[in-house]
Amino acid sequence: MTKNAIVLGAGIVGVSTAIHLQRRGRQVTLIDRKDPGSETSFGNAGLIQREGVAPYGFPQQFGLLLRYALNNEIDAHYHLSALPSQLAFLARYWWNSNARRHAVITRAYAPLIENSVAEHKDLIEASQAQALIRKDGWMKIFRTEAARDEALAEAALWQTEFGLTYDSLTPADIARMEPDMTVRFAGGIRWRDPWSVLDPHALTLAYRRYFESLGGRFVTGDAASLGQFGAGWKIMTSEGALEAEDAVLALGPWAAVATRRLGYSFPLGIKRGYHMHYAAKGNAMLNNWILDAERGYLLAPMNRGIRLTTGAEFARLDAPKTPVQLDRAEAVARTIFPLGERLDPEPWMGARPCTSDMLPVIGKAPRHQGLWFAFGHAHHGLTLGPVTGRVLAELITGETPLIDISAYSPQRFKP
């Protein structure tokens, strides 16, 4: 008899998990209160970051902390009113970002990242989404030689330890690759291994269509109605009550609320981010995904226009938009490239779900049968969606996961 499964959350992680469960013989219903891919997965840099083996840590240097405390940077911004509620999370995040602990976390994180491109390749081909993908890496450029040299030294270490490939870029290389740039940079790095996505929302929708072609279905519903029912789970949807033996919570930044309702307490924080699309002036062309590393914003030539993305905003999940980082980034970006008019009616905002140890939560709920977690991917939700979906589906169906996922277990927090 076919077992039923419900997956709550239709972002890239939830859709990928639904695909892999459906492939393994489960009858899967994907549930969200909004259309698939319309929340956090909608707005990101569009990078499948094979080079992102080291999760983003909390600054350790006193001078850097003091600079961020002034709250006028592009790559970080905070709401003073939100700090009391996030203080415990930020303290643990800072503690785990110590060089020694961060190195240990990086080694635990790397196996997920190392399989990110291969697992996306599988779903990209299955969903016939190749037209949305570029395979020529991305660029990180530097304004000072000191920052360039520090980054190149780190890149060499990562090449040795994790097998990453990159090119060291001279100022002339950057000028040749981006002839419409109006600033001469000190140099840069082109990471070769990552892939880029011309429309992240369209990619999630392509995966959704593939899931449905396998026999899965999507319905709208609210995770707040999830509850135990006999030996399984029950939820109210637009099509009435649904029951299943297994339920997966892949709710991104809303996972803390949903798990708290079931008696769990995870150290989850929120990093909000913004994006805006722009036209280019005249015949100017942006050819590559480019991070202006010392200013903290990224420009990406996507189907909708040139997407400008910001760093992290520490705020309450439901707080009104405060796109000051976007305004700051736009002012700087216009000095290096001839951006034209804004193409979106208003800035997009989304929220990244982050754990205090920078590792996602993937695995079985400690105190419930048939309940599974997949959240906390921080800046790498798009990157890690398919590999997370595969390893969790393997665990649920009794297979040996592709990689050792013990480091991501919900048990590590003793929730």
Question: Domain limits of the chain?
Answer: 4-41+201-265+357-413, 51-80+93-98+120-196+268-355
Query: Structure tokens of 68?
Result: 């961020």
Report the pLDDT value the prediction gives residue 140, as an integer from 0 to 100.
98
**What pLDDT does residue 68 have?**
84
CATH class of 4-41+201-265+357-413: alpha beta
pLDDT at residue number 414: 76
pLDDT at position 65, please?
81
172-218 per-position pLDDT tens digit: 999 999 999 999 999 999 999 999 999 999 999 999 999 999 999 99
Burial class (CB in 10 A: 0-12, 13-18, 19+), 182: exposed
CATH 3.30.9.10 fits 51-80+93-98+120-196+268-355, yes or no: yes
pLDDT tens column, 219-248 = 999 999 999 998 899 999 999 999 999 999
Query: 212: burial class by Cβ within 10 Å (0-12, 13-18, 19+)?
Result: middle
Work out the end-to-end distance of the chain between its first and last CA atoms, rounded to an integer number of angstroms. Answer: 33
pLDDT of amino acid 319: 96
Confidence of residue 61 (pLDDT cuts 50, 70, 90): confident
Residues 6 or more apart whose CB falls under 8 angstroms from that of 40 comprise: 11, 252, 253, 350, 351, 352, 353, 381
C-alpha span between 51 and 94 (Å, rounded):
23
| Residue type at position 20 | H
Dihedrals phi, psi of 198, to nearest 5 degrees? -75, -20
For residues 288 and 134, give the distance between their C-alpha atoms in angstroms, rounded to a whole number.
Answer: 10
**pLDDT band per the 50, 70, 90 thresholds, residue 67:** confident
Average pLDDT value over all residues in the chain: 96
DSSP secondary structure of 235-281: EEETTEEEEESEEEE--GGGHHHHHHHTT----EEEEEEEEEEEEES
Taking the C-alpha atoms of residue 37 and residue 271, their distance in angstroms, rounded to an integer, is 18
Buried/exposed 79-91: b ≥16 CB within 10 Å, e otherwise = beebeeebeebee
Average pLDDT over residues 64-85: 89
Coil, strand or helix: which one is 313?
strand
In this predicted structure, what is the pLDDT of residue 415?
59
pLDDT at 1: 66
- Closest to 371 in 3D by CA, of 194, 201, 244: 244
pLDDT in tens, 326-373: 999 999 999 999 999 999 999 999 999 999 999 999 999 999 999 999
Tens of pLDDT along 3-39?
999 999 999 999 999 999 999 999 999 999 999 999 9
State phi, psi for 100 to the nearest 5 degrees: -65, -45
- Residue-wise pLDDT for 136-181, tens only, equals 999 999 999 999 999 999 999 999 999 999 999 999 999 999 999 9
Contact 308, 275 (CB under 8 A): yes
Residue-level pLDDT at 231: 87
Give the predicted TM-score (pTM) of the model.
0.96
Dist. CA 129–CA 152, nearest whole Å: 33
Helices 12-23 + 381-396 axis angle, to 10: 30
Note the pLDDT of residue 70. Answer: 87
